[in-house]
Amino acid sequence: MDNHGQSRRALSVQAHLPDRKQRKMAYFKWDESCSVRVPEFDQHHQHMFSLGNQLADAMTSGQGEPAVSNILDELVAYTQFHFAAEERFMREEGFLALTQHEAEHLELTRRVFDFQERHRRGQAKLSIELILFLREWLTEHILVTDKKYGLNRLTIPPIT
Ligand SMILES: [Fe+2]
Ligand SMILES: [Fe+2]
């Protein structure tokens, strides 16, 4: 085969092999529709989406257990920091549904600790389950529950 033929064949093979950038799927995409109208927490959520993507990428691209563990540990630690910050904010704002929101945080924390513990015990085949959990958490909790404290700010203050 001449050089021209070889390069043509190489090109057609490459066309079927997505490069690394294309293989990196964004499982969790933050856009304005995810905004909770509190810039500090939008930033937190964006960081959590990024950690969720890193975690999904580590699990699906065979980066190995240490990489998955490190990102999972970081996500757990960041989540605790974020939940505490949100709860402090809601308390300061006198948000009425605080107890219900705290209960959701507690349940999400319990479940994420459970994933971390199972991962530590070597039950590594959690990939799909964990990605689905993160999707539920990062979308449903933020889009439904977190948005309420942002909306709470928009209510008209009483006339004094
Ligand atoms: Fe949040
Ligand atoms: Fe929250």
- For residue 63, the domain's CATH number is 1.20.120.50
Q: Looking at the domain assignment, is residue 145 inside a domain?
A: yes
Distance 126 CA to ligand 2 centre (A): 24
Q: Which ligand is nearest to the CA of 45?
A: 1
Q: Which ligand is nearest to the CA of 107?
A: 2
Distance 58 CA to ligand 1 centre (A): 23
Q: Looking at the domain assignment, is residue 16 inside a domain?
A: no
Q: How many domains is the chain partitioned into structurally?
A: 1
Q: Looking at the domain assignment, is residue 100 inside a domain?
A: yes
Q: Looking at the domain assignment, is residue 59 inside a domain?
A: yes
Eight-class DSSP state of 136: I
pLDDT tens for residues 10-26?
Answer: 333 333 333 444 456 68
Distance 85 CA to ligand 1 centre (A): 9
Q: Looking at the domain assignment, is residue 159 inside a domain?
A: yes
Eight-class DSSP state of 159: P
Q: Looking at the domain assignment, is residue 76 inside a domain?
A: yes
User: Which residues are found with C-beta within 5 Å of the ion, ligand 1?
Assistant: 146
The single residue listed with the structure tokens 């939940």 is 83
b/e per residue, 17-28, with b = 16+ CB within 10 A?
eeeeeeeeeebb
Q: Looking at the domain assignment, is residue 112 inside a domain?
A: yes
* Farthest CA pair distance, the chain: 87
Q: Which ligand is nearest to the CA of 88?
A: 2
pLDDT of residue 43: 97
130-135: list long-range contacts, CB under 8 Å, 24+ apart: 130/55, 130/59, 131/27, 131/56, 131/59, 134/27, 134/28, 134/52, 134/55, 134/56, 135/27, 135/28
Is the pLDDT reported for residue 119 higher than 80?
Answer: yes
pLDDT tens for residues 70-103?
Answer: 998 999 999 999 999 999 999 999 988 999 999 9
- Comparing 19-23, 44-48, 126-130, 150-154, which segment has the lowest mean pLDDT? 19-23
- Residue range of the domain that includes 76: 43-160
Share of the chain above pLDDT 90, in %: 41
Contacts of 25 (CB under 8 A, 6+ apart): 53, 56, 57, 60
